[in-house]
Chains A and B, each alone.
Chain A
Amino acid sequence: MRRVIVAVSIAAFTALLAYATTVAGALGYLGLETRALARMFLALAYNPNLRELTAMSPAAVAAIVWDFRGVDTLYETVVFYMAIISALAIYRGVHKVGGGGSVGLSLIVRVVTKLLIPMNIAIAVSIAVHGHLTPGGGFQAGATLAVVSVLLAVVYSVNSFSRVGVEVSKAVALQSTGLIAIAAVVFTPLIYGVLTGAQAYLMQNYVKVDSGFHFPAEVLGQLISGTLIWLNIAEFLAVSFGFFTVFMLLSLREEVVKQPLLGEGHGS
């Protein structure tokens, strides 16, 4: 009986999705026309002639992520933060990272990794600070940098974290710094509005019809797209060190984790 219900619901799901995407035309892949909504986003992403509507970012995706649908992304950042904090809560009581004397994989692997890690960091920072110009941004850059933590744990063993000075508490502090920076950028227009009595909106990026407040779109002739570069860098910090935290905890040795779980009496 249970198997029949499972089979029928899966078949119904597939049929429904297939109907929605083909017959009902939710999928536009055979059409050559762009949707009206997409055309609006594309036309307004970087348009200095429409100063009240544009996000001043040539990358339309970054403009949607942090300007047109910025509150949505803010909410997703909170979900991300909650997932990391929940993982930390499960591992409460576990403080010790490292200890013991293992040195990791063979010399060849360690040398190659030593060469790769600076490149990885450089690429991640480049993706973050060019997020408003090219494909990329804080989320992608954070995921790129998170690879470094996995490389460290696998190639150099868990002990390397304390050797290079990365600890769980420091990673959590850096993640929180990123989140505070996001909050600071979001609340700046509000504080400006309260202090000067002018009209300004929460998470405002560029001038609006009834508000003259705006972040500088260009600094020294370089396009920085107002809030976009700051939010990308802050999100880069939050995401990368959030992943650093969990990967560090995930690579802990079994006896270190089991000790607080089984209580005082079982510890050595």
Chain B
Amino acid sequence: MALSTIERFLLTLTLYNLLVTAAVSIYGIVARPSLTKKIISLTILGDSLNVLAIFIGFRVFSIPPELVSEVELERFVGLAVDPLPQALVLTAIVIGLAVTLFLVFLALQVYRLYGTLDTRRIRELRG
């Protein structure tokens, strides 16, 4: 079994798309002044890195890491994808959602107190 050229191309394209998405979202976090856009960029960065982690564990011609009775252990071990990245990502997604919610609460309070989410204007305000 080997990958065809089109499969190889599509896998590589997916990988570079993920990297570019991560880079653009870092630009959003660092350079955009709006707190809302910073939070959106942060979630995009987290998700693209999660997909990248899953991609590292993925192998072609594989089966899910769940042992069912029809499959013998030998064959299962040889064929299943790496379960470790999946285990790390599944907790990371839920933690990421909780942390995003916390940031949303912070941004909401900032808006209620200062009337703006622009970091350049928040910096000038006192008290």
Contacts and interface: CB of A to CB of B under 8 A. Distances in A.
A221 interface: no
Interface in A141-189: 142-143
A244 to B, nearest CB: 12
Given A10-B23, A28-B59, A59 B65 contact: yes
Contacts of B64: 135
B101 interface: yes
Contact of A29 (B23, B31, B55, B105): B55
A64 interface: yes
B11 A30 contact: yes
Given A27-B15, A134-B66, A261-B113, A34 B94 contact: no
B109 interface: yes
A61 interface: yes
A122 interface: no
A45 B23 contact: no
A83 B101 contact: yes
Contacts, number: 167
A98 interface: no
B51 to A, nearest CB: 12
The secondary-structure label for the interface of chain B is helix
Interface residues of B, number: 57
Contacts of B97: 143, 243
B122 interface: no
Contacts of A34: 59, 77-80, 82
Contact of A58 (B30, B56, B67, B94): B67
Contacts of B16: 18
21 contacts: A18-B19, A21-B56, A32-B61, A34-B59, A34-B77, A34-B78, A38-B82, A58-B68, A61-B65, A61-B90, A63-B83, A76-B91, A83-B95, A84-B98, A86-B102, A87-B105, A90-B106, A139-B91, A142-B94, A143-B97, A246-B98
Q: Which 3 A-B pairs have the closest CB atoms?
A: A38-B82, A83-B98, A60-B65
